[in-house]
Amino acid sequence: MYQPLSLFIGLRYTRAKRRNQFISFVSLISLLGMILGVTALVVVMSVMNGFETELRGRILSVVPHGYIDGPEQRLPEWYKWQQQLVESDAVVAAAPYIDGTVMLSRPGMVRGAVLHAIEPEAESKVSTINASMVDGQLKDLQGGQYNILLGEILARYLGVYIGDEVSVILPRVTVTPVGVFPRVKRFTVVGIFQVGAELDSTTVFIHLADGQKLFQLGQDVKGLRLQLTDLFLAPSYLPELLNKMPAGSKAKSWSETQGSLFSAVAMEKTMISLLLMIIVLIAALNIVSIVTMMVSDKRSDIAVLRTMGASPQAILRLFMIQGVAVGFAGIVVGIAIGIPVALNVGDIVVALEGMLGTQVFNPEVYFISRIPSVLQWGDVFWIAVCGLLLSVLATIYPSIRASQIQPAEALRYE
């Protein structure tokens, strides 16, 4: 006698040539559905991981890991606090900054933006903005010259190039004998940067000295921008750094300034995964049909096994193994197909573009020119676990019904 009996017979039912060809057809459809669902999940989740990694890399290359603002948004003697922060083990560099919301004006055009006043040499230690310059350099920002750096999309919208002038309008007013006027200062464009993210359409940089005059802060700054040894340390480590700052100072990390964007990406990834999991669920529900029809087709076999001493639990395990085997095969084949596709999806899309003569991502419109993909083995593991769990759940009810078949009743008309 083959042992364990339930495993031997259950696997034999999946291999044996069935008299009822319809059962074979439904099994094939269920297998293909499981393969398609698992493959789609592996590929799509890898692509979503790739987009998230690309977005994080582009944005966090310009956005510092953390900010510490002085009391009442003003930090006197900032160089003294800068030195104290740099002495901390986890802090790589600290740079002074001033920021605020402004309007950029050109004849017939007005655009909102976030203005950052920075010290170029210190800023190069906390961000890679200098490496993102497509025209001009970060060092072109000179104090007292009222120069400005614009994001590429913003510059294109305003229609400005190197040497052109833009007016910066602050949401503050100046009272004069002839009335109340908004504060306006004309700046000369000396550089254009391209990060490849939304920052290109909303961000401008000026020199710290010009920002101090523009915001009337004297020699003070708003706070310090920080670069840490690990960006994921920022949320937990910044509160400790506040102990080295004046009372009333406030800290915020990249997860707060850009957290809504990454939360939206994570939510989108979750929703797409749930939608694709429906394909796996449908394939698992087909397993219910397969096992139910198999139980109906093998009633006499079940009766014979019961009369030979097989317990109801053995019959239950037999049909559960048969149904799970179909799901397991679909999961294995789906992962085997999905992994190489996920690892090479960028090259596959490029090849299809060449064959069809089209372009999925136009670099003049989108921030990327090819589909990024990052395969995470944790995602593959959870896809396999969820698919296998659904397969097991799908076999429970029909297997219980099979275990309840009475031999005498099943063999009455045989």
Q: What is the pLDDT of residues 328-337, one digit of tens each?
A: 888 999 999 9
Task: Please state, for a pLDDT cut of 70, what percent of the chain lies above it.
Answer: 85
| Tokens matching residue 307 | 């009369």
Given a contact cutoff of 8 angstroms between Cβ atoms, the answer to whether 326 and 391 are in contact is yes
Give me the pLDDT at residue 190, please: 93
CB 147 within 8 A of CB 205: no
Q: What local confidence, expressed as pLDDT, does residue 201 receive?
A: 86
* CA separation, residue 300 to residues 69, 235, 282, 353, 399 (Å): 79, 66, 30, 57, 15
Judged against a pLDDT cut of 70, whether residue 22 lies above it is answered with no
Does position 19 have pLDDT exceeding 60, yes or no?
Answer: no
Mean pLDDT on 5-17: 60
Average pLDDT in the 92-96 region?
89
More confident residue, 136 or 411: 136
pLDDT of 299 above 70: yes
Closest CA to 96 of 150, 143, 163: 143
Q: Which stretches of 202-298 are DSSP H helices? A: 208-214, 234-241, 254-257, 259-297
Give the residue-averaged pLDDT of 346-367. 72
Q: 163 is written with which tokens?
A: 């040497």
Task: Mean pLDDT check: name the lowest of 100-109, 137-146, 231-240, 371-380.
Answer: 231-240
Beta partners for 227? 93
Task: HSE, CB side, 13 Å, CA atoms: give it for residue 140.
Answer: 21
pLDDT value at position 245?
86
47-58 residue pLDDT tens? 888 887 777 766
**pLDDT greater at residue 331 or residue 351:** 331
Question: What share of the chain has pLDDT > 90, as a percent?
Answer: 15
Handedness of CA 159, 164, 63, 131 (dihedral sign): positive
| Residue 276, Cβ density class (10 Å: 0-12 exposed, 13-18 middle, ≥19 buried) | buried
- In this prediction, residues 370-382 reach a mean pLDDT of 86
What's residue 390's pLDDT?
Answer: 87
Confidence of residue 340 (pLDDT cuts 50, 70, 90): very high
Task: Give residue 205's pLDDT band: very low, low, confident or very high (50, 70, 90).
Answer: very high
Instruction: Please state the rounded mean pLDDT for residues 1-5.
Output: 56
Residue 26 confidence (pLDDT) above 80: no
Nearest to 113 by CA among 121, 105, 103, 123: 103
User: Over the range 176-195, which residues count as b (16 or more CB within 10 Å of their CB) and which as e?
Assistant: eeeeeeeeebebebbbbbbb
| 411 vs 288, higher pLDDT | 288
Asked whether residue 136 carries a pLDDT value surpassing 70, the answer given is: yes
Residue scoring higher pLDDT (346 or 111): 111
Rounded Cα distance between 269 and 263, Å, is 10
What pLDDT does 413 receive? Answer: 56
Tell me the pLDDT band of 1, cut-offs 50, 70 and 90.
very low
Distance CA 253, CA 275 (A): 33
Mean pLDDT of 234-252: 85
Q: Give the span between the Cα atoms of 387 and 381, in whole angstroms.
A: 10
More confident residue, 211 or 284: 211
Average model confidence (pLDDT) across the chain? 81
* Least confident window among 75-84, 125-134, 381-390: 125-134
- CA atoms of 29 and 128, how far apart (whole Å): 52
Q: What is the pTM of this model?
A: 0.66
Query: Nearest CA to 222 among 63, 70, 62, 61?
Result: 70
Comparing CA positions, the residue from 158, 102, 127, 151 lying closest to residue 367 is: 151
